[in-house]
Structure 1
Amino acid sequence: MAAIQLVRQVGTGQQLELKAMREVQIADTGVEYLSWSLRETYSRHYALVTLVPGTLLTKQMISSVRPELGPSAARVGLALKAGQFPSGLKPGYRVQVIHAPLQGGSAGRYRVLAPSALIDGVEKPVTGGSPGLISVIVDSTVSPAVAAYASSGEIALAELPASR
């Protein structure tokens, strides 16, 4: 049987890409692995869990509906400068979204706005002084605060490496 094996990591909630798949021949063991002949269809699906290279795909690992984008989720764009986010962030990683006040009476009063936001997109800075553009998926109840604080430079991200 020709099955789909992953050659790249696919984070939770991320779309499977054709370039992350390869064909492998396996024996029929009774496990319902996804067929290589349907790879185009499955390339429009999303990972329900983090999938590592070498994984043979099954239906239980993927969904045609993006799991993070339910009715209570919002996608927020952040323009962050060096020091406001850790290097090496990639789509699928989990982060804390933290309100980090700059000045005034609330300076130094840090507050976690989203304890486990999903990184949805990362664009590297064009020049040293330009911000990194990062999209996060958060609960829609906190998205207005995240957007407002981000617009004034008062958002920081902390990676949750155990959630990769």
Structure 2
Amino acid sequence: MLFGGIVVLACSFASAAVTLRVGAVETGALAVQTDLQVGHTLTAADLRAVKGSMDANLVPPGMAQKVIGRQTKVPLMAGTLVTENVVGDPAFPQPGLAVVGVAVKPGQYPPDLAPGDRVSVSPIPETGAMTDANTKMKAVVAVVTKVDRPEQPQNPAVVTLLLPQTDAQSVSAPIAQGLVSLMQISPEAP
């Protein structure tokens, strides 16, 4: 009976310690409400308070004035938690990376493509024969940063991609000719 009492007492102390620790950590943070482009000046309307674990880099809701009025350094997707590292002088793309816009027709990209998706940019043949530009081009991997869908379905969509600068240079000619397709790949794919 004494042993049972000690176990119950130990469990009570452990439960209290966990509850106090979790309560101290759960303070909340700021998140962006909509997708924001590089260089966007943050306003109070762009931000919302969310519950969650407090990390040293996250901006708590009570400190919103630290980021309001400052520009975003990188594109932010809706729901992204705000840190002081994402505001300041725009620094996008980072050195060694490039941003490329690709006009793609229906059938050249997955219809549900969204920012954050990884894609393989692959050459497609021009009228049955490969041109010099796309015979030299190998498929490259990129991250979608934006998708502008057309109002008229027959018009091309414009997909903005982030990829290594050397890969961007190798795909620029086929992209300009409209001779690429985008294939969504797994986030874990090499």
Normalising by structure 1, we get a TM-score of 0.65
**Among candidates 55, 61, 72, match of residue 44 of structure 1:** 72
Deviation at 1:9, TM superposition (A): 7.8
**Among candidates 170, 187, 190, match of residue 145 of structure 1:** 170
SS at match of 1:86: coil
Deviation at 1:130, TM superposition (A): 0.9
More contact order relative to length (CA 8 Å, sep ≥ 6): 1
Question: Which whole-Å CA distance do the structure 2 matches of 1:100 and 1:138 have between them?
Answer: 19
Question: Which whole-Å CA distance do the structure 2 matches of 1:125 and 1:77 have between them?
Answer: 14
Deviation at 1:157, TM superposition (A): 0.8
Q: How does 1:58-73 map to 2 (within 5 A)?
A: 58-59=83-84, 62=86, 64=88, 69-73=93-97
The answer to whether residue 107 in structure 2 is matched with residue 79 in structure 1 is: no
For residues 24-67 of structure 1, what are the alpha-carbon distances to aligned partners after superposition, in whole Å with 9 as ceiling and x for unaligned?
6899x7845312222325652437xx9784x754446x464667
Q: Where does residue 128 of structure 1 map in the other structure?
A: 153
Greater shift in the superposed pair: 149-158 or 30-39: 30-39
Q: Determine which structure has more spread, i.e. the larger CA radius of gyration.
A: 2
Q: How does 1:1-164 map to 2 (within 5 A)?
A: 4-6=29-31, 8=33, 21-23=47-49, 31=56, 33-34=58-59, 35-41=63-69, 44-46=72-74, 53=79, 57-59=82-84, 62=86, 64=88, 69-102=93-126, 103-104=128-129, 112-115=138-141, 117-162=142-187
Question: Which whole-Å CA distance do the structure 1 matches of 2:58 and 2:118 have between them?
Answer: 28
Superposition CA RMSD, Å: 4.1
Deviation at 1:131, TM superposition (A): 0.6
Question: Which whole-Å CA distance do the structure 1 matches of 2:57 and 2:95 have between them?
Answer: 31
Paired residues in the alignment total 153
8 Å CA contact retained: 1:15, 1:44: yes
Deviation at 1:87, TM superposition (A): 1.4
8 Å CA contact retained: 2:117, 2:143: yes
Question: Which whole-Å CA distance do the structure 2 matches of 1:160 and 1:68 have between them?
Answer: 24
8 Å CA contact retained: 1:4, 1:21: no
SS at match of 2:187: helix
For residues 117-150 of structure 1, what are the alpha-carbon distances to aligned partners after superposition, in whole Å with 9 as ceiling and x for unaligned?
1223321123121111112122222223322112
Bigger fraction of residues in helix: 2
Bigger fraction of residues in strand: 1
For residues 72-125 of structure 1, what are the alpha-carbon distances to aligned partners after superposition, in whole Å with 9 as ceiling and x for unaligned?
22222211100111112233332221112232257xx8x64322x122332112
Question: Which whole-Å CA distance do the structure 2 matches of 1:65 and 1:5 have between them?
Answer: 20
Normalising by structure 2, we get a TM-score of 0.58
User: Structure 2: which amino acid aligns with 1:130?
Assistant: N
Question: Which whole-Å CA distance do the structure 2 matches of 1:51 and 1:141 have between them?
Answer: 26
